[in-house]
Structure 1
């Protein structure tokens, strides 16, 4: 059994290093790809909504069966396949740009298939951590990985904005592609032997999917968490669909400034990741899930006030506050669901949660595109942030509000109390 900081755990360090490269690439891509569509390919608000939908619709299309497949396979192998696939797909974007044949249609197809690979990677990734570090280290492991994500959220968009101005958006996508390649190379160096997947249970797909869904929705705290995350992600998808257009066309910021503003929220995320363990232990895991976002998410209401003057500072403050709350919430709720789930159900549990909470993002992307066309970009931003703030009501109005701590041991059956 490993003791002490996880940074003394060699294989966790390899996972952490790969995640660092991957997350940096992801957040470069979250700025470079929309800028490529909006500035270089002159996409409309509705087309930007389609791009957001294409990136995440795979969670709706294959999210549930993917969980069953992940439970039948070694999870590190699934992650490696997904990383190499995303590397190759994203490499096609700058290659097509160099050849003068890049189109919005290709960008949509690449986004769709990268999203499919991401479904498998994310389900396998969250299911792999307990077997790598042990359930007693999940809070520390998730906090360290969230710190990486938040740091990348600062460095990635800032670097992307500068790179887009210097070398074009298409060439900047190379950084995202390289991040996935580096992640795969780090995963290849992990030496911990992964447990053999259990072969028992239902042979058919549908009963196994149903078992995962039943586990998730029979647990009252987990049900409330899923409701909050799904609602926030839906309106977050609407927000993502229009934010780059809003910042470039309504506020009038150049790409470098857009990158900096998008990165600011990551500062709050880093603070949240650094404080999440101590804060959760001090106030309790249940309160970290409902009280922290209740106090911080209203900061997002300042973002639509952005203008090319002092009001940019208000928007930045709102992004920092929201980023802090989101990360503390995520560390607490992901640790809870990993801890209570039996090993054999981890893939299906994570897939069931992801199916719902990520499946709303493409719907939100289409909603954001439609709102941008109908209400204008600032109006669409107001609707999006109001929905994100209201999402916390699921956990505030749940039994979580009357608890301090939550169970941290795996349940024995396929159902939950």
Structure 2
């Protein structure tokens, strides 16, 4: 075990990917709270406008998701990662610049969020497909765990940094940090030297629609893949019902300051950190399937706590922090487990399209969740919207009970690779 860990840490290309992803995650976490803060505090957005902002950010996953998968399976993935981060960094510079000249408004914010979202589609699909080119299959869980640990650290520090920057220099100028971080990430990923093998079937004619269909068919006909994407779709929709109005709920109804809200969001990162440290141990202890089901249930339970936050200022903050902690821990373990599963059982030639199909279906529900959150919050109140989202999270976890996951008790993903002809084929995954 230690030799594998040492081998991964001495892998120069993995270290560059790790540093690049860490820089990107820190910027992303500042923007995750920073963009809603720009809308809510700087521009005075309504609940519906907050929902539209989330819609603009995630709509590209519906529009461009499947197309991104085809491109990423046809071409090397590293240049796509580099280009996506350079463009994201440049676009986000527009936020402080337009604020400086007094031109920043919700329309500008919608446009920036939408175009940055397009880049995010290509980056996320290429990134998930790229890791198997940098590390061996035996190191995938360890690699995903290390990357998730960086994400956790960013989620611990990023929101607090965003809240602090908002207090000192206002929200639009806090976005500068995110812009610079994307440029740093692009530089490090550009320095990765390992050549990728683009696996294509020369005998097959290049037909974009048939290639998209192949990715969709692979996910839909394999019970384990379909079980994950079905759960993730309901989960993401429900979470964005909550997230679209979370900042308004905290700032307007609970009267929480931006700095305290940053600390609450930082607890989400602590949860992610715990989850990244526990994921591999949970798989070794309980098996792949039970870990996936259990982690989804933990995350869902955390999502229900925000609307239950009542009492003194301290008790409200503690309840919301506990919710973020459980949510982050569950989501981290679920992400590591399901991404590793996908990277192991899906052929490399299909990685981009399968990952894009996951993003297209599961992340495609995010803009709908944003709109629903804004509509429910505006019509029935912000707390009611949070309750509705929390119930949806529990429903998403329940869908996993009707899949083969609880019977998938192999104790490592390497073991899953070796036994896939026996344990996976019998459940429909080849």
Fold shared, TM-score > 0.5 on shorter chain: yes
- The aligned counterpart of 2:282 is 279
Which residue of the other structure, out of 206, 226, 229, is the alignment partner of 1:226? 229
- The secondary structure found in structure 2 opposite 1:391 is helix
1:311 shift after superposition: 2.9
Q: Is the 8 A contact 2:16 2:192 kept in 1?
A: yes
1:294 shift after superposition: 2.3
Matches within 5 A, 1:150-161: 150-161=152-163
1:327 shift after superposition: 0.8
1:309 shift after superposition: 3.6
Matches within 5 A, 1:157-168: 157-168=159-170
1:197 shift after superposition: 4.6
- The aligned counterpart of 1:35 is 37
1:148 shift after superposition: 0.9
- Partners of 1:349 and 1:400 lie apart in 2 by 19
- Partners of 1:60 and 1:292 lie apart in 2 by 26
Q: Is the 8 A contact 1:74 1:196 kept in 2?
A: yes
1:315 shift after superposition: 2.1
Structure 1 residues 379 and 184 mapped into 2: Cα distance closer, same or farther (>3 Å)? same
- The aligned counterpart of 1:139 is 141
- The aligned counterpart of 1:121 is 123
Matched, 1:257 2:266: no
1:103 shift after superposition: 1.1
Q: TM-score, normalised by structure 1?
A: 0.96
1:295 shift after superposition: 4.3
Q: TM-score, normalised by structure 2?
A: 0.93
Matched, 1:357 2:327: no
Q: Count matched residues.
A: 415
- The aligned counterpart of 2:15 is 13
Q: Structure 2 regions of 5+ residues with no counterpart? A: none
1:289 shift after superposition: 0.5
- Can you list the C-alpha shifts for 1:4-44, whole angstroms capped at 9, x where unaligned? 43211111010000111100000000111100001111111
- Can you list the C-alpha shifts for 1:40-94, whole angstroms capped at 9, x where unaligned? 1111100000000111110100101110011111100111110111011001111
1:199 shift after superposition: 5.4
Q: Is the 8 A contact 1:72 1:198 kept in 2?
A: yes
Matches within 5 A, 1:38-187: 38-187=40-189
1:132 shift after superposition: 0.8
After superposition, the CA RMSD in angstroms is 1.8
1:292 shift after superposition: 3.0
- The aligned counterpart of 2:396 is 391
1:107 shift after superposition: 0.5
Matches within 5 A, 1:253-402: 253-295=256-298, 297-307=300-310, 308-402=313-407
- The aligned counterpart of 1:205 is 208
- Partners of 2:297 and 2:37 lie apart in 1 by 32
Q: Is the 8 A contact 1:216 1:416 kept in 2?
A: no
1:134 shift after superposition: 1.8
Which residue of the other structure, out of 210, 235, 239, is the alignment partner of 1:236? 239
- Partners of 2:44 and 2:72 lie apart in 1 by 39
- Partners of 1:3 and 1:392 lie apart in 2 by 33
Q: Is the 8 A contact 2:73 2:198 kept in 1?
A: no
- Partners of 1:44 and 1:120 lie apart in 2 by 30
1:296 shift after superposition: 5.0
- Partners of 2:24 and 2:336 lie apart in 1 by 19
- The secondary structure found in structure 2 opposite 1:192 is coil
Structure 1 residues 296 and 245 mapped into 2: Cα distance closer, same or farther (>3 Å)? closer
Q: Is the 8 A contact 2:4 2:139 kept in 1?
A: no
Q: Structure 1 regions of 5+ residues with no counterpart? A: none
- The secondary structure found in structure 2 opposite 1:57 is helix
- Can you list the C-alpha shifts for 1:259-315, whole angstroms capped at 9, x where unaligned? 111111211110110111112111111111102332453132221122424132122
